[in-house]
Amino acid sequence: MACIAGVDLGTSSLKVIVMDEGGTVLAEASAQYDYDSPVNGYGEQNVDVWWQACVTCFQSVVRQVDASTIAGIGFSGQMHGAVFLDEHCRQVRPAILHLDARSGAQLQEMSTRLAPETILSVLMNPPYSGFLVPSLLWVKENEPEQYRRIRHVMMPKDYLRYRLSGELYSDYSDASATLAFDIRRMVWADDVLAALEIPRVFFPDCLATDAIAGRVTEQAARETGLLEGTPMVAGGGDQVMQSIGNGVILPGQATVNIGTSAQVSFQSSRAIENPALNTNTFCGYGRGRWYTMGATMSAGLSMSWLGKVLGMSFPQMEAQACTVPPGAGGLLYMPYLSGERTPHLNPDISGMFWGLSVNTDRSRLARAVMEGVAYSLRECMELCRSLGCDTDVYVASGGGAQSSLWLQIQADVYGVPLMVANIRQHAGVGAAIAAGSGIGLYRDIAEGCRRVVRYQDQRYLPNEENHALYERYYRLYRRAYQDGRQVLEELTALGRSRDTTKHSRG
């Protein structure tokens, strides 16, 4: 029996699943890790951490299924991150991640060197910290010796595929999220790279998500337990892959995903231009496919942070939050731990609780964080709708979709129903479906979705009374950003300056 594997490289963990062609999961494994933040606002990971996690997970799954039955492997990866390799394809420095906020000066440089029309109509996305190009420019300016050693740059999941296959490729979706890609033409933007004095040869060739992009080498087979010669497809950014894993691939369909960060993503048959540049439009899994999304940077990350502060697990915090009615007792949370992307496009904002009192306890803090993330996602939805995107129902995804409380909070805040797919590892399932399409197990990705994706019977419907209350809180949430923005930005600058000074001395 042939089966297919999906690798999902996230910010805090790597997961591998193996499933049959009907979507039954036959084996799975995961490995946890942290990212490094040597200075407030920095986010880095050593690529060897990813590779060791990948090796560990494959060693685990091939103890559960015969490696000879794995007919193809697909990949999903955290987006925007920058991997820097030398002429021997060895790491030059740790990868700079999507949540990194160090490159403010480089963003200004990009805005100076690139014409506004180029940014709007070619890149179709705002220059923002954590994207590959500003991170690369930061290395060029601040670490010139390391920059001179760079010969290849790529996205995180592409590094894993390289380690398994020895082949350097990317895909349209991940490439489009670098600020070096022509979104409409679906090619590297040579004029942009020339204007920024970045060598075009740094960047790998791009393929469709389900195109074959290498085979497992003898060395990788020895380390992982996989069969030498097993084909791998290019894969895609996690947003595209979780959409596939949720069966959301047609125009008019949408997902709301809560992972470390969170996104609202609308499928489209055209590249939607936003003059305000406070949303993202990226390429989908193949030519003629795009999606428009709004993103909030610190969603699940906010809950992880709170859990560390309180010394509690997520299930413990969820149980506590269940005891508190909507509104968290008059407490508002602004989820800006790593700046914000939509709709404020502000890497220099910081998070905040409004309404703290002597009655504020763990349960209210936990519920306020869940609600604050939902308010932020609602802002993303409203902005995307203003551009012509809409849907009658959202498919919820990510770790947030495993919490019935958080799902109900979202439905009540958004005022629309939520559906949830039966399989939990949505991005990994999407990666496996892409592998199945690439090796001919399915005619295409659409057939793979039809054969694999099923939805839970339960839909999360908005409670009218709760929704009316959340409308009042949501209006205050939006005011809170405007009223507190300057103070929060100055606090961020003071903290970052002190952390940078300490780091340089250390």
Q: With beta carbons less than 8 A apart as the criterion, state whether 446 and 266 touch.
A: no
Label residue 220 by pLDDT band (50, 70, 90). very high
Task: Look at residue 349 and tell me whether its pLDDT is greater than 80.
Answer: no
Mean pLDDT of 17-34: 96
Q: What sign does the CA torsion over 236, 242, 247, 251 have?
A: negative
Lowest-pLDDT range of 47-56, 146-155, 260-269, 314-323: 260-269
Structural domains of the chain, with CATH? 3-240 (3.30.420.40), 249-416+466-499 (3.30.420.40)
Cα first-last separation, the chain:
56
- Helix 314-321 to helix 362-386 angle (10° resolution) is 90
Degrees to nearest 5, angle at CA 378 with 465 and 44: 135
Q: Which of 280, 396, 260 is nearest to 337 (CA)?
A: 260
Nearest alpha-carbon partner for 8 in 64, 58, 70? 58
The 3-state DSSP class for residue 360 equals coil
Q: pLDDT tens, 445-454?
A: 999 999 999 9
CA–CA dist 365, 352 (Å, integer): 11
Indicate the range of 219-228, 269-278, 370-379, 456-465 predicted with least confidence: 269-278
Cα separation, 53 vs 32, in Å, equals 8
Is residue 7 a contact partner of residue 53, using CB atoms and an 8 Å limit? no
Instruction: Report how far residue 225's alpha carbon sits from residue 52's, in angstroms, rounded to the nearest whole number.
Output: 13
Residue 498 is predicted with a pLDDT of 54
Which pTM does this prediction carry?
0.87
Average pLDDT over residues 340-362: 83
- Give the pLDDT confidence score for residue 505 in this predicted structure: 45
Instruction: Write down the number of H helices and E strands in the chain.
Output: 17, 23
Answer yes or no: is pLDDT of 398 > 80: yes
Where b means 16+ CB within 10 Å and e means fewer, 360-396 reads bebbbbbbbbbbbbbbbbbbbbebbeebebebeebbb
What digits encode the pLDDT tens for the residues 77-129? Answer: 999 999 999 999 999 999 999 889 899 899 999 999 999 999 999 999 989 88
Q: What is the maximal distance between C-alpha atoms in the chain?
A: 63
- 328: left (phi > 0), else alpha (psi -120 to 50), else beta? left
Residues 58-84 have pLDDT tens digits of 999 999 999 999 999 999 999 999 999
- Which residue among the candidates 174, 182, 238, 348 is catalytic per the annotation? 238
Q: Is 86 marked active-site?
A: no
